[in-house]
A and B are shown apart, each in its own frame.
Chain A
Amino acid sequence: MKARIACVDGVEMLMDYLEGTLPPPDREAIEAHVSGCPRCVAFIESYRQTPHILRAATAAALPEDLARSLRRFLASRR
């Protein structure tokens, strides 16, 4: 990996970077780039936040009546 990278290279490796699976040279190249790039800092913040926002927004709870109908359904098929 080249020592100096552009935003697009950092984005490409971001998931591997966050999971800790990148080889040290790539890891260092990302860190060196991001430390001087406000655009990447902002991008990474929103990238990391995305799963949290979607998780909270789609956390459906099982309605009571559905739990009851599941029991009835299973009882009728056993």
Chain B
Amino acid sequence: MTAPAADEDDEALAARAAAGEEPAFEELVSRYQGRVYRLACRLTADEGDAKDVLQETFLAAYRGLPAFRGDSRFSTWLYRIATNAALMQRRARARRPTESLEVFLPRFDADGVHAAEPPELRAASRADELLDRKLLAEKARAGLDRLPDIYREAFVLRDLEEMTTREVAELLGIDAAAVRQRVHRARLMLRGYLSDLVGVKP
């Protein structure tokens, strides 16, 4: 048993961890604990839930490692566990019904022309300049929370965790066109939501 090297790849570490080498598992935890926590916060919109998801994810990974075949990257496999754990956590928690973000989709006139004028259409891109950082963080979390589950997952993985469309498709078990459709829908809603936050009709 050799100590894990900093440049050793995840899949090699996973193989060693699966064979019972604890230091290899520890190294994987060190590498991914921050990313899994951030993902969990984005998916659950709650720090307490994110803590539970973090623990569940690494426990499930530890137990599931012997079955990890290396067909996908370790990170994709781990993110799939975390995404499912977050979904379970959300379902377990009784949530107040929230108003759908559909109201923030862009509006068009009868000829299919944007209903708003350019300055209004552009306003969302300045949300980070116009709003206090703390308020924006709070509202961003609330906005993600209001997305339907399938849009939130696709958007968080693709746009916030910056996975490729192909990786997200593999992780969610859907095709790339469906990933793009879900991410697009989420972007449209959140863009309108940001407009609304800065006081402009989307």
Kindly state the separation between the CA atoms of A39 and B119 in the bound complex, as whole angstroms. 8
Interface string of B130-152 (1 = CB under 8 A from A): 00010011011101100000000
User: Is there an interface contact between B188 and A47, defined as CB atoms closer than 8 Å?
Assistant: yes
Query: Taking the complex as formed, is A35 at the interface, i.e. its CB lies under 8 A from any CB of chain B?
Result: no
**A48 surroundings in chain B (CB, below 8 A):** 125
User: Is there an interface contact between B180 and A21, defined as CB atoms closer than 8 Å?
Assistant: yes
**B6 surroundings in chain A (CB, below 8 A):** none
Query: Taking the complex as formed, is B159 at the interface, i.e. its CB lies under 8 A from any CB of chain A?
Result: yes
Interface range for A: 35 or more
**A43 surroundings in chain B (CB, below 8 A):** 106, 114, 121-122
Kindly state the separation between the CA atoms of A50 and B143 in the bound complex, as whole angstroms. 12
Q: Which parts of A50-78 form the interface with B (CB within 8 Å)?
A: 50-51, 53-62, 66-67, 69-71, 73-74, 77-78
Closest to B45 in A: A58
Kindly state the separation between the CA atoms of A38 and B128 in the bound complex, as whole angstroms. 22
Query: Taking the complex as formed, is A32 at the interface, i.e. its CB lies under 8 A from any CB of chain B?
Result: no
**A70 surroundings in chain B (CB, below 8 A):** 29, 33, 54-55, 58
- Smallest distance from the beta carbon of B66 to chain A beta carbons, Å? 14
From B34-42, B69-77, B85-93, B94-102, the one touching the partner chain is B34-42
Kindly state the separation between the CA atoms of A9 and B108 in the bound complex, as whole angstroms. 10
With contacts A21-B180, A42-B118, A54-B159 taken as known, whether A8 is within 8 angstroms of B59 at the C-beta atoms is no
7 interchain pairs, CB-CB under 8 A: A7-B112, A9-B112, A47-B187, A53-B128, A54-B143, A54-B159, A74-B62
Q: Which residues of B contact A (CB under 8 A)?
A: 22, 29, 33-34, 37-38, 41-42, 47, 50-51, 54-55, 58-59, 62, 106, 108, 111-114, 116-119, 121-125, 127-128, 133, 136-137, 139-141, 143-144, 155, 159-160, 162, 165, 180-181, 183-184, 187-188, 190-191, 194-195
